[in-house]
Amino acid sequence: MVIEVSSRTRSLLALGAAVAVLAVPVRPVTALADGGADGGRKVLTIALAQSVDSLSPFLAQRLVSTTIHRLTYEYLTNYDAADGRTIPGLATGWKSSPSKLTWTYTIRKNSTWSDGRPVTAHDAAFTFTKMMTDEKAATANGNFTANFRRVTAPDPRTLVVELKKPQATMTALDVPIVPRHVWEKVGDFGTFNNDTSFPVVGNGPFVITEFKVDQFVRLKPNKTFWRGAPKFDELMLRFYKDGDAAVSALRKGEVSFVQGLVPAQAAALLKADDIKVNDAPGRRFLALAVNPGARSRDGRTFGTGHPALRDPVVRRALFHAIDRRELVDTVYRGHAVEGEGYIPPRFGAYHWQPDARQKRVHDPERADALLDAAGYRQNGDGRRLGKDGRPLTFRLLCHATDPSETHIGKYLDSVWGKLGIDTRLECLDNVSDPWLKGDYDLAFDGWSVNPDPDFVLSIHTCGALPATPDATGSTDNFICDRRYDELYERQRAEYDPVVRARLVKRMQDRLYETGLMNVLLYPNAVEAYRTDHIASMTTMPAAAGNLWGQDGYWSWWSAVPARGHRDGSDGGSATGVVLGIGGAVALAAAVGVAMALRRRATADTRE
C-alpha cells in the first residue's frame, strides 16, 4: 500500500509591492487510523540514519540538523504545505520600498520564547547582524545576508533590512531566528554547539530537552506555540547506524517512523501489518562531483585532484559511459527519476532539462572516440593513458554506510573500465576530511533543495571558495566559473519570477556544460510509519509529498496519535541505540567542533 504520488507545482510569490498574507491553517490530508488516545504518554519516535552535525543554527548544514531547527525556531516566513507558496512565519507581513533596497517586516505579537520572554524584532535584527559581522556565524546561512547593508529594529514589532542591491530571496530567508538574550552571551560562534544547556530556548512547535551525540534528540511540545501545541507528548529522534535495525525496530513497534528506505526494505514493509509506506518525489539529487582543482579565494591551490579531470573532454567521456536509466532500474528499483538538471523536477518552475543535442546520452562508443581524438590513447594492455603517458586511475569518494553509492561505484568501475580507465573506490565512514582537503578525484554528492533554490546555487560561486586553504568556505566542490557567477548575481537580483526562473535554468545549463557537477538521479523519499502509532499527519506537498525533511514543521506538528498508542519505553534516557553495520542507508559521521567551520555536507544533507 503506497500513498499515491503526483507531481508538485510551485506557486511563485511575485515580490515587490507591499504584501500581507494571512496565516492559513495546515490540515492533515490523509486519515490513517482513528485519532485520539486512551491515556498514557504518547511518544512519536523517529529512526534516523544521520548524525547531528551541530545544534547551533549558525553552524548546522545536515538535513537532520536543519529539520530539528525548523521544529525549534521560527523563520521570518514559512512555506505552505499544500503548494510551497510563501506564508507568514515569525513575520505576519512584509513590504519593500520602490527601489527594492529596503524591506520592512511586521513581527507577530503572539510569539514567545519557551522561557516565557516575548519574541521581538530585536531578536531577528541580532540574528542577521551577527551573521553579517561574524564570519563564523555565517558558516551555515551566510549567503542570505551577504548582500545586507544594515538590519535594524526601530521597535519590537518592526524589522528593517537594507540591501546593497535588490535581492529576490527576501521572502525566503531560511534562517532560524534565535533569542538575543541567550545568544548575545555566546563568545565564539565557531565553537558554541548549543548543546550544553537544556531545555534549549526556542519559539517553534517543539523544545529540545535532551541530546546525546549519535544516540538521540528528545523534544517536547512548546505549549505556547502560536499555531497551537503538537498533539504528541514527546518527539524522540533516535539514531541507528544500521538501516535494517531501524526497520526491525519499526516492525516491533519500538519506533514510529523510518526514512531513507532502500527498495528491498520498502518492498518488505508493504506486506507488514499496521505499517504504511510513503513513496514520494524527492527534494534532493544524487550527483557525481568532479574535483576541478581545489583552490581558495587568495589564489592558492591545494589538494590532490587528478589533472586529467580538468580537461572537459575527459569529463564528457566519463558521463557518456553512464546509463542513468540502468541505475534507476537496478539500484533504486524505480524509486528514483533519471537525473538531468541540478534542480529536481519536484520544483517545476526551476527544473531544467538539456535539449536533445546537448544531452549527455549513454553512448560508450562516443566516449571512446572523444578520448581517442583528444590524445588519450590506449596502450597494448588496453589501459587509457594520460597526457603524461601514465595509465589513468581516478579515485571515487563514497560513503561506506550507503549501499546505493557502493553499488553505483561498482557499476562505474565496470563501465569506465571498458574505456580503459581504472576506478579506485574509496568508501569511508567520514568523507569530510578528504573532501575539505581536496584529496579526491570524483565523489558522490547530494543536496536537498528548498522551494527557493538560492542556497544550492550559491555553493558553486567563486565567492563560496574558502578565503585561504585553511579558512571557512561554503563551496561544494571548488567550482569557480565567471559565467556562472554572472548569472547567479542576475537571478539573485531579479524580482520577476518568470525572468528569474529563466536565469536559474541558464545557470543549470552552464553547470551541465562544465561537467563538474553531474546529476545521476533524483531519489524518491521512501519512508514508512506505524498506523497504530500515528493516526494522521500532513505531507508536503499535501496531495502526495514527503514527511521527513519538509520545508517547514508540518508533519510532526500536525501528527495525531492513534487511539491506544502510548510510550513503550522505560522513560529514561534513550540510550538503547542499535550499532550494527548491516546494509542500510546511513550517513554516520563524527561530530566535532573543528569540523563545524568547514564541514563537508554529505548526501541528503542540506534541507
Cell of 227: 499555531
DSSP secondary structure letters along 492-524: HT---HHHHHHHHHHHHHHHHHHTSEEEEEEE-
Distance CA(2)–CA(279), nearest Å, equals: 6
Q: What's the Cα-to-Cα distance from 446 to each of 326, 339, 441, 443, 596, rounded to whole Å?
A: 19, 12, 16, 10, 19
pLDDT of residue 544: 79
How much is the CA Rg of the chain, to the nearest whole Å? 24
Q: Which of 397, 167, 191 is nearest to 304 (CA)?
A: 397
**What is the mean pLDDT for each group of 10 consecutive residues in the chain (607 residues)?**
30 32 34 39 93 94 93 97 95 97 98 98 98 94 95 98 97 97 97 96 98 96 97 97 93 96 95 96 96 96 97 98 97 96 95 95 97 96 96 95 91 98 94 93 95 95 93 90 97 96 98 97 97 96 90 96 71 34 32 36 41
Cell of 181: 538574550
pLDDT of residue 11: 31
Those residues whose C-beta lies under 8 Å from the C-beta of residue 491, and which sit 6 or more positions away, are 168, 457, 500, 503, 504, 507
Cell of 252: 516491533
Q: What's the Cα-to-Cα distance from 60 to each of 70, 109, 123, 430, rounded to whole Å?
A: 12, 28, 19, 17
Cβ contact 221:205 at 8 Å: yes
Angle, in degrees to the nearest 10, between helices 312-320 and 364-373: 160
**Strand 102-107 vs strand 158-163: parallel, antiparallel, or unpaired?**
antiparallel
Distance CA(366)–CA(256), nearest Å, equals: 50
pLDDT of residue 144: 95
What are the residues facing 398 on neighbouring strands? 427
Distance CA(271)–CA(159), nearest Å, equals: 53
Cβ contact 552:78 at 8 Å: yes
**Coil, helix or strand at residue 123:** helix
**Coil, helix or strand at residue 218:** strand
Task: Render the burial of 287-312: b for 16+ CB within 10 Å, e for the rest.
Answer: bbbbbbbbbbbeeeebbebbebbebe
Cβ contact 508:264 at 8 Å: no
Distance CA(350)–CA(522), nearest Å, equals: 15
**DSSP letter at 448?**
B
Longest dimension (CA), the chain: 77
Q: Which of 190, 171, 167 is nearest to 458 (CA)?
A: 167
DSSP secondary structure letters along 138-193: GTTTGGGTTTEEEEEEEETTEEEEEESS--TTTT--------HHHHTT-S-TTT--
